[in-house]
A and B are shown apart, each in its own frame.
Chain A
Amino acid sequence: MSKIKVLIIDDENDFASTFSERLLMRGYLSCAVNCAEKAFKTVKENAPDVVILDLKMPSMDGIEMLKVLKKMDPSIEVIVLTGHGLSKGKDEAIKHGAFDYLLKPADIDDIIERIERANKKRMLEQQYLASKRV
């Protein structure tokens, strides 16, 4: 079974790189970027299975980025991980196709559980689409 590819998008470099390292240690193919341009480039070159996305970032709003990501590849599952606790942000993220919404600081096991579930959902959808094509 191939490793799950996880892209972490967060302007907090320290968090993104450390978290990416921990995922690597747990057997995921993770990559961290801190801005929208790098994120789009990565998605274009090596589409991730799951994206961990921060909502508040300079240059581009997380919700806007979520929309673009979903437009680029609708199969990508996005988990929003943010410090903002407003229910308005959560509702908007879910409305625009986010798989789940987690508040910082989050336990790594919780995040991994969401990654696994998101990936499973993604695979099921892909299988369904494939069976439909056949």
Chain B
Amino acid sequence: MYKARNILLVVLTMGAILMLSLIVGASFLQMRDYEKSYSYNEMLASIERIRAAIDSFFVSKVAVLKFISFNGGGADLLQKLTAMSSDIVGVGAVSESGAVNYELLYGSSAAISVDSEWLKKTNAHGYYVSDVFTLSSGIRVFLIGVKGTDFLVLKAKSLDEIIINDKYNVSIVNADFKVQAPSYAYEDNEVKRSLEHLPSVFPTSTVINVTGALHGYVRVDGSEWIINIIPKKGVHSISFVESTFFKIIVVASAMVLLTIGLIVWGFVINLREADKKTQEAVKKLLPFSRLSIIGRLANNIMNELNNPLEIINQKAGLINDMLMLPAADINKDKVVFLTQGILDNIKRGRTIIHRFLKFADTNTETIEFLAVDSVLKDVLVFFKDELAFRNIRVIRKFSTDVPTVNTNRCKVQQVFLNVINGAIKFLGKDGTMILYIHSVKGGVIMIEVICETTMDKKVRDASHYFDQQDEKEDDFDFYASQWIVKSIGVTMDYKLHDNNKAVFCVTIPVSTEEDNTYVKD
């Protein structure tokens, strides 16, 4: 019973964790979508705003800007631009000769590497290079405007790899502003695209995700300037969100597990205490059970014992009566006959007493080899008068090949007493009790008590005798038997058929190791 509860607890815990994981997972995905959408929109709005400012700026000052850029004045240009919009953090320019000027507000220009060689090569191939990053891993990421319109994000150690080896990792920033596979960020190396087959869908501005950080780029129409925007406030990158959510999941799961663990632990402690109390109660209960059975049987036994006593009484009385007669009238043979009758009935009484004492003796419990049929016969003797009185016919069908059982006689006897007693209760009056004993596979002996009443008589259902929840006084013996059978590996079962037939079934393993956890007298 407790094992089943523990299994249930584990199943519930697993279910709770699964549910929690599903909820957290679903929340995470929802949150990520929201975050993505929010970040991109924010970035795009920012880009548009800046683009408008830049356009306006260029219209009036394009000549100045060109001058500044060609003279290495990126810093001045950046300063002017940042005065217009606080969102601008960097300005990059590519000259016709391939020289790159790049300025960042944050002073992280060390992370940017300019390679005049590849710039020349890309220009020679008609590509427009806007930016290059050197990742912490040493791999460069190139941002190239393809034929002056579309942007590519390329990843390579050198430009030659991009141009010459068309199987190289190439990411295209598509019309939905998402970096298509394969890309560094998504670790997808399955799809390889050739530069010759690139779509021309890229708008003049976009937001891309490079190594987990968002960048906004704006092409300036009619100009070689490309505005690179990195939000000052910082956009929560997906990787950050992912890692935060991962931490939340881990912490939440740990907390849930800890809580469930504490609850289960509490349960286990309660169950152990309950089990301990039950065992103590059962220890107390079993002797009472035995006393109850003894008390119930005592009446039958008294009747059985009173009969030989009464016979002895009458025969002795008759001898006494005869001895009062004149000596000549005393029939010596008759006296001898009466005396023999007295001795026979003393023997009969002694047998009854011994049998009863053997059952009642609670201090002689030992494991021994038992012939189950013999034990059942002994038990039936206790009910002889009861069965006759109730007009219950007993048919014994004991198989001859039943092996002996190594178990506790006293407990087996008590189980049989309870079953026969229950069967008598079930039948009430007028019926047949068929007793089967036979061996079944797996070293088990089966004892079946089949009770049948006449067809027209509805019988009493004895199911509740086997229900531990239903502790009626009347069912005390069966309730106690549940514990007795448990301690010696015996099982008890009951089935009702067609309202006029019941089968009480007891199985005993041929060899048992007594578990005295539950039963100690």
A, B co-complexed:
yes
**Is B391's CB under 8 angstroms from A59's CB?**
yes
Minimum CB–CB distance from B387 to chain A (whole Å) comes to 9
Which residues of B (99-142) have their CB < 8 Å from a CB of A? none
- B243 contacts partner chain A, Cβ-Cβ < 8 Å: no
Shortest Cβ distance from A103 into B: residue: B306
A119 within 8 A of B: no
Query: Which residues from chain B sit less than 8 Å from chain A, CB to CB?
Result: 299, 302-307, 309-315, 317-318, 321, 338, 341, 345, 385, 388-389, 391
Chain B residues, Cβ within 8 Å of A19 = 314
B310 touches A12 (CB 8 A): yes
CB atoms of B305 and A83 under 8 A apart: yes
Interface residue ranges of A90-134 to B (CB < 8 Å)? 103-108
Asked if B311 contacts A15 (CB within 8 A), the reply is yes
Contact B389 A61 (CB under 8 A): yes
State how many angstroms separate the Cβ of B19 from the closest Cβ of chain A: 61
Shortest Cβ gap from A87 to chain B (Å): 11
Q: Interface size bucket, A side?
A: 20 to 34
List 21 interface pairs A-B (beta carbons < 8 Å), by A numbering. A12-B307, A12-B310, A14-B311, A15-B307, A18-B315, A18-B317, A18-B341, A19-B314, A22-B314, A56-B303, A56-B388, A58-B389, A58-B391, A82-B303, A83-B302, A83-B310, A104-B309, A104-B310, A105-B310, A106-B310, A107-B313
Secondary structure type dominating chain B contacts: helix
State in angstroms the CA–CA spacing of A133 and B313 once bound together. 45
Report yes or no: A56 in contact with B385, Cβ–Cβ below 8 A.
yes
- The tally of CB-CB contacts under 8 A between chains A and B is 69
Q: A83-B302, A84-B303 are in contact. Are A12 and B389 (CB under 8 A)?
A: no
Given the complex of chains A and B, what is the CA–CA distance between A106 and B306 in angstroms? 10
Q: Which residues of B contact A22 (CB under 8 A)?
A: 314, 317-318, 321
Instruction: Decide yes or no whether A74 CB sits under 8 A from chain B.
Output: no
Chain B residues within 8 Å of A1, by CB: none
Convert A13-29 into 0s and 1s, putting 1 for each residue whose CB lies closer than 8 angstroms to a CB of B. 01100110110010000
A83 touches B303 (CB 8 A): yes
- In the complex, what residue of chain B is closest to A107 when comparing beta carbons? B313
Q: Which residues of A sit under 8 angstroms from B311, Cβ to Cβ?
A: 12, 14-15, 18
B303, B310, B388, B389: the one within 8 Å of A15 (CB) = B310
Cβ–Cβ contact A86 & B299, under 8 A: yes
Given contacts A14-B345, A84-B302, A103-B306, contact A21 B318 (CB under 8 A): yes
Cβ of A4 within 8 Å of any chain B Cβ, yes or no, is no
Q: Please give me the 4 A-B residue pairs with the lowest Cβ-Cβ distance, nearest first.
A: A83-B306, A83-B303, A58-B388, A104-B306
A103 to B314: give the CA distance in the assembly, Å.
14
Bound form: Cα–Cα A105–B309 in Å: 6
Q: Does A57 contact B (CB under 8 A)?
A: yes
Which of the listed residues A15, A58, A59 has the most CB atoms from chain B within 10 Å of its own CB? A15
> What residues of A have a CB within 8 angstroms of the CB of B341 in the complex?
14, 18
Contact between chains at A105 and B302 (CB < 8 Å):
no
